[in-house]
Amino acid sequence: MDFTSVTFTGISRNFGRRRALASVSFAVEAGQLAALLGANGSGKSTLLSIAATLLAPTSGDVRYGTHTAQTGGATLRQRIGLLGHDLYLYSELTAEENLRFFAGLYGLDHVDRRVANALRAAALDDRAHDPVSSFSRGMRQRLALERALLHEPRLLLLDEPFTGLDDPSSVALRGRLTRVREAGTIVIVTTHELEAIDTIVDAAYVLSRGRCEPLAGGTGSLRDRYRRQVQA
């Protein structure tokens, strides 16, 4: 199963009486990187959870090509990669053990080659047998990204991937995302580090009080445009 676009149509999500998302609609095509911008608590992570099929919307639907979370099921999940703010790694296991575990869970073939490539891409070849608990935030972040990319997903969802990274790690992550996008992956990223994605973002959406609007064009950096729109 494959798809070349993800379309959000009228997505709303309530938590009890609180409305986290209100009729969110937009689409992202293969080879595009879309950014979800907004203040803390604006609904960005909720929207990512819905896109990852981990959370059902109260109303509206997400279409992955012609499929939905209900019709796609496990086959659809095979095509989705998610990197959360909490990285989804077992700190007691080594880098290699983490990758091998998830490779097994996704039923991947050529596990040795995939794991070796992932360790190389994360620049962790020499730390493959060290427990993740001994890694710095940047190293964990790189490993977590490769974990999310291990099964070559069509849709990659990243929640605040630049948080806590130093400059070299941030540059490396930006380079990796550029290559992933160029390979035809649909990338949706939430971030407050607007400078980090300014040069690679294809479309940006601003979430405010659960509502979503495209970021208006115009002059200036991504942050300038975001500030103008938020203050308007």
Partner 1 sequence: MTFLGTAALVARKDLLVESRSREVVYTSLLFAISCMLVFAFGLVKEGRVVTDAAAAILWITIAFAGTLALGRIFDRERQNETLRALLLAPASRAAIYVGKLVGVLALLLLVEAIVVPLVMLMFDAALLAHPGFMLSILIAGSVGYAAVGTLFAAMLAQSRSRGALLPVLLYPMTVPVIIGGVRGTAALLQPEADLVIARAWLTMLVAFDAVFITLCLWTFEPAMTE
Does 91 bind partner 1 (CB under 8 A)? Our answer is: yes
Does 112 bind partner 1 (CB under 8 A)? Our answer is: no
Does 2 bind partner 1 (CB under 8 A)? Our answer is: no
Calculate the alpha carbon distances from 95 to 124, 134, 172, 197 in Å.
8, 10, 18, 27
Does 60 bind partner 1 (CB under 8 A)? Our answer is: no
Identify any residues that bridge with 59 across adjacent strands, giving them in sequence order.
Answer: 12
Answer for which of 75, 134, 136, 221 binds partner 1 (CB under 8 A) is 75
Nearest in space to 24 (alpha carbons), one of 157, 205, 229: 205
Does 64 bind partner 1 (CB under 8 A)? Our answer is: no
Nearer to partner 1, 76 or 196 (CB): 76
Whole-number minimum distance, CB 173 to partner 1, in Å?
Answer: 19
Nearer to partner 1, 73 or 184 (CB): 73
Whole-number minimum distance, CB 224 to partner 1, in Å?
Answer: 33
Does 111 bind partner 1 (CB under 8 A)? Our answer is: no
CA distance 32 to 7: 13
Does 41 bind partner 1 (CB under 8 A)? Our answer is: no
User: What is the chain's length?
Assistant: 232
Edge-to-edge strand order for the sheet containing 5-15? 18-29, 5-15, 59-64
Whole-number minimum distance, CB 184 to partner 1, in Å?
Answer: 20
Buried/exposed code over 192-210 (b: 16+ C-beta within 10 A; e: otherwise): ebbebbbebbeebbbbeeb
Residue 103 burial (10 A CB sphere; 0-12, 13-18, 19+) = buried
CA distance 127 to 178: 25
Does 105 bind partner 1 (CB under 8 A)? Our answer is: yes
Answer for which of 65, 67, 93, 130 binds partner 1 (CB under 8 A) is 93
Stretch that binds partner 1, among 20-28, 54-62, 177-185, 189-197 (CB under 8 A): 54-62
Does 171 bind partner 1 (CB under 8 A)? Our answer is: no
Nearer to partner 1, 19 or 77 (CB): 77
Q: Say which DSSP state 216 is in.
A: P
The token duo for 126 is: 């020499």
Site residues for partner 1, 143-162, by CB under 8 A, read 147
Whole-number minimum distance, CB 36 to partner 1, in Å?
Answer: 18
The token duo for 155 is: 């849709």
Please give the residue ranges that form the binding site for partner 1 (CB under 8 A).
49, 52-56, 74-75, 77-78, 80, 82, 84, 86-93, 97, 101-102, 104-107, 131, 147
